[in-house]
Structure 1
Amino acid sequence: MENIRQLLNEALAPYSVSLEPSDRRDHALLAITDSLGSTVLAREFHLIQLADTRSLTDVVDGLHRDLLIAEGRLEPSMIAALRGATSATALLANVR
């Protein structure tokens, strides 16, 4: 789990990541703190999500998005709008 924590620290810099066992079996608590030591995000993940490379990439992508929202740099409504635009573009591409 230490290697995963180091990878997450690198991927989510300048934030710090702590990874602790959860009360739930096969889960880990992940906390992201800023430079002042304030917790910005806290999530619980199944250990399989952290062990599999593909799943870990999805976890990091989701955490990046959540950090943008927490920082006020991205509104949740914008995510929905972007997904809608992407879906519409994909549909149009398939029609041609």
Structure 2
Amino acid sequence: MESISLLLEEALSPYQVTLTTSGVQDSIVTVKNPAGAIVVERDVDRAQLMDKRVLVDVVDCLLRDIKIAEGRLEPSVIAALRSAAQTRNAAAA
């Protein structure tokens, strides 16, 4: 898990990332800004952190959540992202 934590730190730099165990299968990813304030905190299934392809998706989602939390992502872009996700989910089903 330490190597995953380092990968997350590198991918989300300059943010500080803390990965803590929560239950049997979950981990909590806490992302803090350089001032130390929590920007994003998410529960993540530990299996998602072990699969490198899924880990990329986790990082992408965290980056999106950071932008939303900091007001750097417009509502229209959020709606477009949701629509694209729904289209992907429908195609996968």
Q: CA deviation at 1:26?
A: 1.1
* Residue 31 of structure 2 is aligned to residue 32 of structure 1: yes
Task: Describe the superposition over 1:25-78 as per-residue Cα deviations: whole angstroms up to 9, x where unpaired.
Answer: 111111001111111110011110000011100000100111111111103432
TM-score of the two chains, using structure 2 as the length reference: 0.82
Counterparts of 2:29 and 2:81 in 1: how far apart (Å)?
27
Structure 2 matches for 1:54-73, cutoff 5 A?
54-73=53-72
- Paired position in structure 2 for 1:91: none
SS of the residue 2:28 aligns to? strand
- Paired position in structure 1 for 2:8: 8
Q: CA deviation at 1:11?
A: 0.3
TM-score of the two chains, using structure 1 as the length reference: 0.80
- Paired position in structure 1 for 2:78: 79
Aligned positions, number:
85
Is there any run of 5+ residues in structure 2 with no aligned partner, and where?
88-93
| Identity across the alignment (%) | 51
Is there any run of 5+ residues in structure 1 with no aligned partner, and where?
88-96
Counterparts of 2:13 and 2:71 in 1: how far apart (Å)?
17
- CA-atom RMSD, angstroms? 1.8
SS of the residue 1:35 aligns to? coil
- Paired position in structure 2 for 1:48: 47
Greater mean alpha carbon deviation, residues 34-43 or residues 72-81: 72-81
